[in-house]
Amino acid sequence: MTNHIHFLVTPQSPTAISNTMKVVGSRYARYINLRYKRTGTVWEGRHYSSLIQSEKYLLICHRYIELNPVRAGMVVRPEEYRWSGYGANAWGDESLLKPHEEYLMLGLDIESRCHAYRELFQHQLGEADLHRVRKAAHYSQPVGDDRFRQQIEQQYGIKLGQAKRGRPKKRKDGVG
């Protein structure tokens, strides 16, 4: 986790995340370049993003992100990681974070929500969930069930999934 970061955000507009990353990247690069007397970009590559089926996978993504420093051996407990939102979600620490409605549904008040959130972390994520989130993040694919993916394909007229590498094979009828 010393070479990447995770954000779990709900944008206010379709281009909000890309614009934010553009601004952060340019301002951070300027700061780093001035401070360390260097030139060029700071980030190694582009950012990856994945739509999340909130009602089923948002809290799984929370757990994936906030347990990442634990899995990496950087800390023993998620609240020990300085850059985590765990303190705000699990203990009600003051934060700039605005809670997602799925988080708010964990309880009627802050105390019950925090307790329910901490309970989610009593067990590690299963291998299937780890694989699902990692694959989605790596390929910028949605995190959701088949119905969710089909809705996205229909709404935007796109085909989700990994395409085969290389040039498409010619059809036998000579078209394409």
Within 8 A by CB and 6+ apart from 153, the residues are 159, 160
Q: What is the pTM of this model?
A: 0.82
Range of the domain at 16: 12-47
pLDDT at residue 175 in the model: 63
Q: Residue 56 above 60 pLDDT?
A: yes
Contact 98, 11 (CB under 8 A): no
Within 8 A by CB and 6+ apart from 70, the residues are 76, 77, 78, 81
pLDDT at residue 129 in the model: 93
Count the domains in the chain: 2
Mean pLDDT within 10-33: 89
Q: Is residue 117 part of a domain?
A: yes
Task: For residues 143 and 95, give the distance between their C-alpha atoms in angstroms, rounded to a whole number.
Answer: 26
As a whole-number percent, the residues of the chain with pLDDT over 90 amount to: 61
Mean pLDDT within 7-22: 90
Q: Write phi, then psi, for 68 (nearest 5 degrees).
A: -60, -45
Q: Residue 28 above 60 pLDDT?
A: yes
Q: Residue 167 above 90 pLDDT?
A: no
63-67, 92-96, 124-128, 172-176: which has the minimum mean pLDDT? Answer: 172-176
Chain centroid to CA 43: how far? 17
Q: What angle do CA 7, 138, 157 make, to 5 degrees?
A: 95
Contact 60, 133 (CB under 8 A): yes
Half-sphere exposure of 169 (CA within 13 A, CB side): 4
Mean pLDDT of the chain: 89
Same domain, 19 and 92: no
Mean pLDDT within 17-39: 90
Same domain, 66 and 85: yes
As a whole-number percent, the residues of the chain with pLDDT over 70 amount to: 95
Q: Is residue 89 part of a domain?
A: yes
What is the torsional sign of CA 127, 68, 63, 135? negative
- Which candidate, 102, 103, 107, 9, places its Cα nearest to that of 49? 9
Q: Residue 176 above 60 pLDDT?
A: no
Same domain, 93 and 20: no
Q: How confident is the model at residue 174 (pLDDT cuts 50, 70, 90)?
A: low
Task: For residues 37 and 56, give the distance between their C-alpha atoms in angstroms, rounded to a whole number.
Answer: 46
